[in-house]
Amino acid sequence: MFHKEGHKIVLFSFLLVVAANLSANYLTEQDWIIYTVFTVSIIFFLTIAQFFRNPKRGIGKSDDYVVSPVDGKVVVIEEVDENEFFKDKRLQVSIFMSPINVHVTRYPIGGKVAYSKYHKGKYLVAWHPKASEENERTTVVVSSKNFGDILYRQIAGALAKRIVNYAAEGQNVDQGADSGFIKFGSRVDVYLPIGTKVDVVLNQKVRGGETIIAKC
């Protein structure tokens, strides 16, 4: 299943592949050219298609844990000053997504959206220390039953040129449901209350809507 953000792109890519192969067959009788165009075009299409895949995920909703909002690798677990919403210290868990990861963003916890804001910014590489504050990004805070306010931030990277955010203030949301999409490689930061029991380690691979990153 493809994510709705990719429907037009996947369709356009398919039509482009068909056109390229028909043109190759019409313009030349050289088998090696025809086979090369076919191979390259199929690889191109599969690359686009896998990027926009949207697999069904879920381990059962619970107010007792926070799930990873995205697929990727845990690259940061540390206490930091969160200056946009909380304006105090929080425990930050950052997940880096490569271009081959699923790029659907999911709500890490169920509750009510207390804050949702888009920020224009730079396109530093996603792992740059200042990316969280200077890159194009969206910040969403969900008020949950057991954890209180949980903030997650979609951050654009050097390749990510569009962030899609569905969260609207006042909206009631379900844990694991689609909350947005980041196109082409980036990172998501999750900010938890100090003292939260983190259930992941550095360099661990996680799956959005499925891997538990923190427990009460």
3-state secondary structure at position 7: helix
Q: How many Cα atoms sit within 13 Å of 56 on the Cβ side? A: 2
Residues 42 and 140 in one domain: no
Q: How many Cα atoms sit within 13 Å of 176 on the Cβ side? A: 16
Residues 33 and 95 in one domain: no
Direct distance between the N- and C-terminal alpha carbons of the chain, in angstroms, rounded to an integer:
33
Give strand pairing partners of 59: none
Count: domains in the chain = 2
85 assigned to some structural domain: yes
132 assigned to some structural domain: yes
60 assigned to some structural domain: no
The residues annotated with a catalytic role in the active site are 186
* pLDDT one-digit tens code per residue, 108-118: 999 999 999 99
CATH number at residue 80: 2.70.70
Residues 152 and 191 in one domain: yes
More confident residue, 2 or 27: 27
Residues 173 and 85 in one domain: yes
Residues 11 and 89 in one domain: no
* pLDDT one-digit tens code per residue, 123-179: 666 666 666 777 889 999 999 999 999 999 998 876 656 788 999 999 999 999 999
Q: At residue 137, what is the residue type?
A: R
Say which residue the tokens 């298609």 belong to: 49
Reported pTM: 0.81
Residue 214 has pLDDT above 80, yes or no: yes
The boundaries of the domain holding residue 44 are 4-51
**Phi, psi (rounded to 5 degrees) for 116:** -155, 120
- For residue 133 the two structure tokens come to 């504050």
Question: pLDDT class for 182, splitting at 50, 70, 90?
Answer: confident
Residues 121 and 86 in one domain: yes
Residues 104 and 169 in one domain: yes
133 assigned to some structural domain: yes
* pLDDT one-digit tens code per residue, 54-80: 878 777 789 999 999 999 999 999 999
Residues 107 and 22 in one domain: no
